[in-house]
Chains A and B, each alone.
Chain A
Amino acid sequence: MNFKERLVGLEFENPLLRADGTIINQEDIQKFWNAFIKEGDERDADYLTGVLVGAKKKLSNGKFESLNTDTGVTTLEMSLSPCKSLDEAKKNYDEVRTAVLGTAKKLGFRYLGYAIWPRTFVGKNPYDYKTKKSLYAALNLPRHNLQLPITAHQTGISLRADEVLSAINTLQALSGTITCLSANSPIFEDKIMPWKETRLVNWNLTSTSAHSQGEMDIFAQMPSRPFTSLADYFKYIWRTTLVLPMLRNGQWVKPNQKLTPIEYLKGTKWPAKDLFGKDTELEPTLSDLNLLSICSWMDAKPHLVFKSSAVTLNEFLKNLEADTLDEYIKGRLVNCYMEYRIGGSSPAGEELALPALSLGLVNNLKRAEKLVAKYSWADWRKLRGNSYITGMGGKIGNDDIVPVLQELAEIAQEGLKMRSMGEEKYLEPVNTRIMEKKNPADKCIEVFKEKGMGGLLDYVTYTK
């Protein structure tokens, strides 16, 4: 079905490095923000640490777009507003990137079009490079520092309520294909890694943080079966205790006891502390539900924002228990989209390729479901588990992955054509990768072998 009103949002993270490819430090990133923020922009200083951690950039269209550093000060993230078309999204992205690149050049930094830290933290203590955000003081993830050298390009795609379950199952199944096509972080600590996407090894190891209760897979890895309903999804992601605390007036507040999200939402008042150590109480609210509903970091992550005039916590919990959430959410959402998180940062000039692929697949969901049905869930899961090592040389079942990638690209092309906006042009890099049977990691390794670290750094650095 054509759905022209489907919006697309880009969340792009890219590394910021020094000219010699080593990482920038806390002092450098402060220089960056101070040079980047111009009249009319907004500064984003953290309430707890007082440190400048980002900015809101005013674009020529009058919109503000958010930028910040993610886990590491060397990771620059831009979260761009949803747009009606990929052309509009690209226009906003180009404007923000031009501003970022201008500041980076002025300070002698490299802004990379790949998800790599080729020299990583060699000889340095990685912990000195963590962004000073209150969020990280509040987070319940023991190995979160594994996220320091990671960048991804994520795409947000709006969904109708009746598409959510199929979209998350289908796009989750296909996540291994995206890695085959887009892996691009094969150089780490000055050498070639035995895999093509270091980022996914970081995620796999971060996922062990959730295992304190013997639970698996919530943070990164593919679930062992597709979800049967939205209630099934929520019960799955809510098996561990709270990963994030709650927000009150923009500040984090942690319950004093360990609670699962369901235990928390069922309560009336919970003794709690803010990050200054002050005693307080938490009374569960709909805003808490909205926050808890996005506390999962799987590849295909739904974002459901509930309408305060139409949803109560009691009703939500009753429908969760009765497994009737799929019906209940209809007409009760103010926002509904899927964040597709599997792609690494894209090379310069190819940034819209993965958003186009993701948008096309979602817009042609029935045909994408048929592709998924050709193989077992276990086959897709195995592909997801191996794709960052095998790249384009991977297999699904007994089949080579390349013909499957060709079909994937055709489905996306058909899906984009249904929108009649000419957006299929953005799939060109995808088609080239399939034709050449090379993803960006393969090219990166070739350049590194031929030209060494200097040549690689120049190859992956934005020039315009």
Chain B
Amino acid sequence: MPKTTVSKAKQVEEILDNNRDIIPNFFRTVILNSFQEHEPTKFELDAVIKVLTDEIDKVKKYARG
């Protein structure tokens, strides 16, 4: 994987690590495994980061706000 892609995949893992109270383990397993099964593109990783961040922000705003 190119350096920028590796760094974005790492960012996904960090988001999942830092939000274990919100994102279930099942999602973590499938998302991280998918990077092993299929080399993600930068666009794809950006999308995963965006959707995860949106979900977490929405939970903080609407469910816990």
- Cβ contact within 8 Å between A216 and B24: no
B59 partner, pick from A146, A195, A385, beta carbons under 8 A: A195
- Cβ contact within 8 Å between B44 and A193: no
DSSP class of B's interface residues: helix, strand, loop or mixed? helix
- Cβ contact within 8 Å between A201 and B33: no
Shortest CB distance A191–B (Å) = 9
Shortest CB distance A101–B (Å) = 27
Say whether A20 faces chain B, with CB atoms less than 8 Å apart: no
- B25-58 residues with Cβ-Cβ distance < 8 A to A are 25-27, 29-31, 33-34, 37-38, 40-41, 43-44, 46-48, 51-52, 54-55, 58
Q: How many angstroms from the CA of A52 to the CA of B41 in the assembled complex?
A: 36
- Cβ contact within 8 Å between A194 and B59: yes
Known: A195-B59, A211-B43, A212-B44. A188 touches B64 (CB 8 A): no
- Cβ contact within 8 Å between A211 and B26: no
- Cβ contact within 8 Å between A201 and B55: yes
- The number of residues on chain B lying at the interface, defined by a beta carbon within 8 Å of a beta carbon of chain A, is 28
Say whether B22 faces chain A, with CB atoms less than 8 Å apart: yes
Q: How many angstroms from the CA of A389 to the CA of B25 in the assembled complex?
A: 19
Q: Which residue of B lies closest to A389 (CB)?
A: B62
Q: How many angstroms from the CA of A205 to the CA of B34 in the assembled complex?
A: 12
- Cβ contact within 8 Å between B38 and A142: yes
Q: How many angstroms from the CA of A46 to the CA of B47 in the assembled complex?
A: 34
- Cβ contact within 8 Å between A145 and B44: no
Please name all residues of chain A whose beta carbon is closer than 8 Å to the beta carbon of B37 when the two chains form the complex.
142
Shortest CB distance B44–A (Å) = 5
Q: How many angstroms from the CA of A193 to the CA of B56 in the assembled complex?
A: 12
Please name all residues of chain B whose beta carbon is closer than 8 Å to the beta carbon of A390 when the two chains form the complex.
62
Known: A145-B33, A208-B48. A389 touches B26 (CB 8 A): no
Q: How many angstroms from the CA of A440 to the CA of B55 in the assembled complex?
A: 22
- Cβ contact within 8 Å between A208 and B44: yes
Please name all residues of chain B whose beta carbon is closer than 8 Å to the beta carbon of A194 when the two chains form the complex.
22, 59, 63-64
- Cβ contact within 8 Å between A205 and B27: yes
DSSP class of A's interface residues: helix, strand, loop or mixed? helix
Q: How many angstroms from the CA of A149 to the CA of B27 in the assembled complex?
A: 11
Say whether A207 faces chain B, with CB atoms less than 8 Å apart: yes
- Cβ contact within 8 Å between B29 and A386: no
Please name all residues of chain B whose beta carbon is closer than 8 Å to the beta carbon of A127 when the two chains form the complex.
33
The size class of the interface chain A forms with chain B is: 20 to 34
Q: How many angstroms from the CA of A211 to the CA of B52 in the assembled complex?
A: 14
- Cβ contact within 8 Å between B46 and A143: no
- A188-208 residues with Cβ-Cβ distance < 8 A to B are 188-189, 193-195, 198, 201-202, 204-205, 207-208
Number of A-B contacts (CB under 8 A): 80
Known: A143-B34, A212-B41. A189 touches B24 (CB 8 A): yes
Q: Which residue of B lies closest to A122 (CB)?
A: B25
Q: B-facing mask of A200-236, CB < 8 A → 1, else 0?
A: 0110110111011110100000000000000000000
Q: How many angstroms from the CA of A326 to the CA of B48 in the assembled complex?
A: 35
- Cβ contact within 8 Å between A193 and B47: no
- Cβ contact within 8 Å between A145 and B22: no
Shortest CB distance A192–B (Å) = 10
Shortest CB distance B22–A (Å) = 6
Most buried by B among A122, A194, A207: A194
Q: How many angstroms from the CA of A195 to the CA of B30 in the assembled complex?
A: 19
- A285-325 residues with Cβ-Cβ distance < 8 A to B are none
Please name all residues of chain B whose beta carbon is closer than 8 Å to the beta carbon of A202 when the two chains form the complex.
27
Please name all residues of chain A whose beta carbon is closer than 8 Å to the beta carbon of B38 when the two chains form the complex.
142
Say whether A126 faces chain B, with CB atoms less than 8 Å apart: yes
- A96-154 residues with Cβ-Cβ distance < 8 A to B are 120-122, 126-127, 142-143, 145-146, 148-149
Please name all residues of chain A whose beta carbon is closer than 8 Å to the beta carbon of B47 when the two chains form the complex.
207-208, 211, 216
Shortest CB distance B48–A (Å) = 5
Known: A143-B30, A143-B34, A389-B63. A193 touches B51 (CB 8 A): no
- Cβ contact within 8 Å between B48 and A205: yes
- Cβ contact within 8 Å between A207 and B24: no
- Cβ contact within 8 Å between B26 and A121: yes
Please name all residues of chain A whose beta carbon is closer than 8 Å to the beta carbon of B54 when the two chains form the complex.
204, 385
Please name all residues of chain B whose beta carbon is closer than 8 Å to the beta carbon of A121 when the two chains form the complex.
26, 29
When A and B form their complex, which 3 residue pairs have the shortest distance between CB atoms, in order from nearest?
A: A211-B47, A208-B47, A214-B43
A sample of 21 cross-chain residue pairs with beta-carbon separation below 8 angstroms, ordered by A number, consists of A120-B26, A121-B29, A122-B25, A142-B38, A143-B30, A148-B30, A149-B26, A194-B63, A198-B24, A202-B27, A208-B47, A208-B51, A211-B41, A211-B43, A211-B46, A211-B48, A212-B43, A216-B47, A385-B54, A389-B59, A389-B62
Residues in A lying within 8 Å of B, measured CB to CB: 120-122, 126-127, 142-143, 145-146, 148-149, 188-189, 193-195, 198, 201-202, 204-205, 207-209, 211-214, 216, 385-386, 389-390
